[in-house]
Structure 1
Amino acid sequence: MRKLFREITTNGLENSSKAYLFFLCLLFLPEIYAQKDTSQNKIIVIHSEYLNFETSNNQEYQYLRQEVVIRHKKTYLFCDSAIIVGLKVKAIGHVRIVEGDSLQIFGDTLLYDGQTLKAELRQNVSLIHHDKQLFTQQLNYDLKKRIASYFNNGILISTDTRIKSKKAYYDAKTEKAFFKDSVNIILNNGMNVQSDTIEFDSKKNEVQFLAPTSIKKDSLQIYCELGNYNVNSRVASFDKYPIYKNNSEQASARLIINNELQKITSLYENAQISDSVSTAKGDTIIINDSTNTVIIKGNGLYRDKEREIKGHKIFYNKNDKSVRVEGKTELIEGKQIIIADRIDYSGSDDIGYAYGAVIVKDTQTGWQIHCDTFSYNKKDKILIPVGKRKYISTPLDNDTLYLTANEIFSQEKIQENDTFQTMTADGDVRIWSRKIRGLCDSLFFHGKDSLFSLFYNPVLWSDTTQFTGDTILLYMKNKSIDRINLYNKSFILTESYTGLIDQIKGRHIFSYFKNKKIHYADVIGNAESVYYVQEDGKGYIGMNYIKCSKMRIDFFEDEKIDKIHFYTQPDGNMIPTYEGKDKRLEGFMLRTPEQPKEFEDLFKLK
Structure 2
Amino acid sequence: MLAIENEYRTPDFCVVSHVNNAALSRFLVRFLWCMLCALTPYCAVSQTVEVRIEQADEIARNPAVVDGQRLIGDVRLSVDGAVVHCDSAWRYTDGRFQMMGEVRVEDGPMALFGRQLTLHPDSGVGTMTGPQVRLVDRSEADGARTLVTKQTIYDFREGVARYAGGGEVRTQGELITSEQGRYQRDSGRMDFMGEVDMEVDTLRVSAERVGYLPKSRRLLLTVPTEIRYPSGGVDCARGEWDLEAGGGWFAGDSVSLARFRDGDLVVTGDSLALTDSLGVARGRVLLTDTVGTYRLGGNAVDFEREADGEAGQVAMRGEAFAWLNEGDAPLLVQGPTITIATDSALQRTLFAGDGAALYSDEVTGAAEQLAWSEREGRVDLEGAPVLWSGSDQLTGDSVRLFLRDGAADRLEVRGHAFVASPAAGGFFHQIAGRDLEGTFSESGLEEVAIFGNGRTL
Per the TM alignment, residue 243 of structure 1 is displaced from its structure 2 partner at its CA by: 4.3
Give the TM-score normalised by structure 1.
0.57
C-alpha contact 2:414 2:436 (8 A) present in aligned 1: no
CA-atom RMSD in angstroms: 3.0
Distance 1:418 1:343, change over 3 A: closer
1:322 to 333, 336, 349: 349
Per the TM alignment, residue 324 of structure 1 is displaced from its structure 2 partner at its CA by: 1.3
C-alpha contact 1:249 1:276 (8 A) present in aligned 2: no
1:410 to 423, 426, 437: 437
Aligned to 1:296: 316
Aligned to 1:47: 55
C-alpha contact 2:151 2:164 (8 A) present in aligned 1: yes
Cα distance in 1 between the residues matched to 2:171 and 2:336: 45
Per the TM alignment, residue 193 of structure 1 is displaced from its structure 2 partner at its CA by: 1.5
Extract unaligned runs of 5+ from structure 2: 1-47
Per the TM alignment, residue 201 of structure 1 is displaced from its structure 2 partner at its CA by: 2.5
Distance 1:60 1:76, change over 3 A: same
C-alpha contact 1:343 1:355 (8 A) present in aligned 2: yes
C-alpha contact 1:76 1:97 (8 A) present in aligned 2: yes
Aligned to 1:338: 365
1:229 to 224, 235, 241: 241
1:63 to 46, 56, 71: 71
Aligned pair count?
Answer: 381
Letter aligned with residue 43 of structure 1: V
Aligned to 1:36: none
Distance 1:157 1:234, change over 3 A: farther
Distance 1:143 1:316, change over 3 A: same
CA shift digits 1:80-106 (9 cap, x unpaired): 222233643222232211113x22112
Cα distance in 1 between the residues matched to 2:421 and 2:198: 64
Per the TM alignment, residue 75 of structure 1 is displaced from its structure 2 partner at its CA by: 1.0
Cα distance in 2 between the residues matched to 1:42 and 1:172: 19
2:280 corresponds to 1:266: yes
Aligned to 2:334: 310
Letter aligned with residue 361 of structure 1: W
Cα distance in 1 between the residues matched to 2:388 and 2:49: 89
2:452 to 421, 427, 430: 427
Aligned to 2:400: 375
C-alpha contact 2:389 2:445 (8 A) present in aligned 1: no
Aligned to 2:296: 280
Aligned to 2:149: 136
Per the TM alignment, residue 41 of structure 1 is displaced from its structure 2 partner at its CA by: 6.0
Aligned to 1:526: none
CA shift digits 1:97-147 (9 cap, x unpaired): 1113x2211222211222321111112222222133322111011111111
Distance 1:249 1:227, change over 3 A: same
SS at match of 1:145: coil
Matches within 5 A, 1:462-541: none
Matches within 5 A, 1:380-391: 381-387=409-415, 389-391=416-418
Aligned to 1:127: 135
Extract unaligned runs of 5+ from structure 1: 1-39, 432-436, 438-606
1:396 to 423, 444, 448: 423
C-alpha contact 2:75 2:86 (8 A) present in aligned 1: yes
1:73 to 59, 68, 80: 80
Distance 1:187 1:400, change over 3 A: farther
Question: Computing the radius of gyration over CA atoms, which structure comes out larger, 1 or 2?
Answer: 1
Give the TM-score normalised by structure 2.
0.74
C-alpha contact 2:173 2:200 (8 A) present in aligned 1: yes
C-alpha contact 1:284 1:297 (8 A) present in aligned 2: yes
C-alpha contact 1:382 1:409 (8 A) present in aligned 2: no
Say which is worse superposed, 130-139 or 219-228, in terms of deviation. Answer: 219-228
Cα distance in 2 between the residues matched to 1:395 and 1:94: 97
Cα distance in 1 between the residues matched to 2:409 and 2:279: 35
Per the TM alignment, residue 320 of structure 1 is displaced from its structure 2 partner at its CA by: 0.6
Aligned to 1:93: 101
Cα distance in 2 between the residues matched to 1:224 and 1:41: 43
Q: Select the structure with the greater relative contact order (CA < 8 A; seq sep ≥ 6).
A: 2
Cα distance in 2 between the residues matched to 1:316 and 1:99: 57
C-alpha contact 1:410 1:421 (8 A) present in aligned 2: no
CA shift digits 1:464-494 (9 cap, x unpaired): xxxxxxxxxxxxxxxxxxxxxxxxxxxxxxx
Cα distance in 2 between the residues matched to 1:41 and 1:428: 101
C-alpha contact 1:210 1:225 (8 A) present in aligned 2: yes
C-alpha contact 2:49 2:157 (8 A) present in aligned 1: no
C-alpha contact 2:91 2:97 (8 A) present in aligned 1: yes
C-alpha contact 1:314 1:324 (8 A) present in aligned 2: yes
2:169 corresponds to 1:156: yes
Aligned to 1:539: none
Cα distance in 2 between the residues matched to 1:171 and 1:82: 27
C-alpha contact 2:399 2:411 (8 A) present in aligned 1: yes
Per the TM alignment, residue 168 of structure 1 is displaced from its structure 2 partner at its CA by: 0.8
SS at match of 2:454: strand
Aligned to 1:167: 180
Cα distance in 1 between the residues matched to 2:49 and 2:448: 100
